[in-house]
Amino acid sequence: MPTRKRHIPQRTCVACRRVRAKRDLVRVVRGLDGCVRVDITGRSAGRGAYLCRTAACWEQALKRSSLEHALNSSLTAEDRAALAAYVLTLPAAEPEPPLPDGESSVE
């Protein structure tokens, strides 16, 4: 009996607009109380938006207000400070994908 391919949910980063697997992105949620925060579990109640796990995407989303647009809310100074603190924990850019066996990056 053939095995079924497992469905992997896809989401779009609000900054770079790349479609990725949901687990590869970070969810930001505007909760029922109106506060905007990082949703580590991805299951908090409220309106959510997804961003890549890179500082560049987070900075771009905050600069261009694409995060505010996606959440249908304006960010308070406290929200921006909390998100900026989270950005400091992220890598600046994505790691390079591994090369197939037998290939080298030096030419």
Residue 16 or 104, more confident: 16
At 3 the pLDDT is 85
Establish if 93 belongs to a structural domain.
no
Task: Examine residue 100 and state whether it is found in any structural domain, yes or no.
Answer: no
Asked if residue 31 lies in contact with residue 73, where contact means CB atoms within 8 angstroms, the answer is no
Q: Is residue 46 part of a domain?
A: yes
Domain that holds residue 35: 10-87
Residue 63 CA: distances (Å) to CA of 11, 32, 75, 92 = 21, 24, 12, 16
Domain count, the chain: 1
Residues 5-56 pLDDT 10s: 899 999 999 999 999 999 999 999 999 999 999 999 999 999 999 999 999 9
37: CATH = 3.30.1230.10
